[in-house]
Structure 1
């Protein structure tokens, strides 16, 4: 349950992220949208970013209509210039940055024989380079406020083999180790870096990438008798973003219904 207080007529949300400014990429739908709404409900001020501006604005409107604080910023995560703008917008509107959630990502269903350089480069740029750029540009702002938390959304495909996901697996596997490296490099500045590894979660990206037959097969492979939902990931990310995980860095949080335990 959230607690609220009123200061000079303005409602202040008191929750697990009270007083924290959070950047969430890929916030227009799926996991990113769920994280943005949950974090705002827990007291955070949200900088929501995405290229899909109409859907992003709808998420921000839902947050503000419910009494939360959020802004929408159009953002190509593969652009360092765009990242600089996101950081500038966060500082301009909220004065600081405490948390970064690198959620934006794309996938592919091409196997090795159908590999093409164009799709490979695009996946690496968005899933891996985009997250690295975010960490590079946000870390100096976190140092100014005495630390922070960076959560990189990887995948079970970054831990174990999955067919027809060569570029995706490469990007997510690399992000896993980049997260560990950043965690070690930034630890002295009290900046924590962790990766989250969702299994098959019912997001728009997943729905578009798999057939009904494939989905039935994936469900059978998951020990818990249901598919994952975006909120399952959002609550895990919330823990890593909050001070509750103040001694957790360089770790991998797997949220997959037991899939990789088999």
Structure 2
């Protein structure tokens, strides 16, 4: 641990598993107090307990990114436990792939509510706290799909493109308050959830397309998230960092 996030209070929405949990772990190792927000109470509690067992500071917060009041309540819970939130990670997403004509109104609505509105609720929930603290850093999880075409992923691509746009515009709007806003676009990343639904053959096909010759791990994304939350990126805002082994530019 180098203490790059010492003294910071981080709220990770969608932090109970996968990339979100890896970010929680990396932030705790770097000295941040972490609010682990997840729609599932048991998942949030397991993640927070693991952080505390490793010597970190963490609380579990049950909350649905799609619900504005629950995101505001999560930010307040983190403030009450540790002080003003100075780092926000918007990681929550709910997604279903498939031909567009087969996507129901309910499915599309839920994807937008979690994947895009959740980002906006996150902004609103922490702005006052960050302004009062003299600034902060917001990290959104986007996707290479924001700039690349994806068959059977029209809604996912559209939502992640909206997240990228909301990153740039928020950076322009919040910069005067010393609040930086950036995004990470992870490539194919071997999370537990993805491993359950993607076959080994499909993983191998993906790996063969990556210029660096390997798939991503959650820790790869977490390291980028540490950088974007730390003083090392103090002059970086409005950016979308592709952590994808080079696949976006190789196929764009």
Whether the TM-score (by the shorter chain) exceeds 0.5 is yes
Kindly report which structure 2 residues correspond to 1:67-216, keeping only aligned pairs within 5 A, or say none. 67-216=55-204
Shift of 1:117: 1.8
Cα distance in 1 for partners of 2:125, 2:13 equals 14
Preserved CA contact (<8 Å) 1:108 1:164: no
Preserved CA contact (<8 Å) 1:108 1:209: no
Deviations 1:48-70 (A, max 9, x none): 10012212211111111111100
Are 2:218 and 1:230 aligned?
yes
Cα distance in 2 for partners of 1:26, 1:209 equals 19
Give the gaps of 5 or more residues in structure 1.
3-14
Counterpart for residue 40 of structure 1: 28
Preserved CA contact (<8 Å) 1:34 1:231: yes
Q: Name segments (4+ residues, structure 1) moved above 3 Å.
A: none
Preserved CA contact (<8 Å) 2:131 2:177: yes
Deviations 1:61-108 (A, max 9, x none): 111111110000001011111012111111111121110000111222
Cα distance in 1 for partners of 2:188, 2:94 equals 14
Preserved CA contact (<8 Å) 1:107 1:165: no
Counterpart for residue 12 of structure 1: none
Preserved CA contact (<8 Å) 2:8 2:87: yes
TM-score w.r.t. length of structure 2: 0.96
- SS of structure 1 residue aligned to 2:180: strand
Preserved CA contact (<8 Å) 1:28 1:59: yes
- SS of structure 2 residue aligned to 1:43: coil
Deviations 1:202-255 (A, max 9, x none): 113322443333222211111111110000000001000111111000011000
Preserved CA contact (<8 Å) 2:21 2:47: yes
Give the gaps of 5 or more residues in structure 2.
none
Cα distance in 2 for partners of 1:86, 1:187 equals 24
Shift of 1:41: 0.8
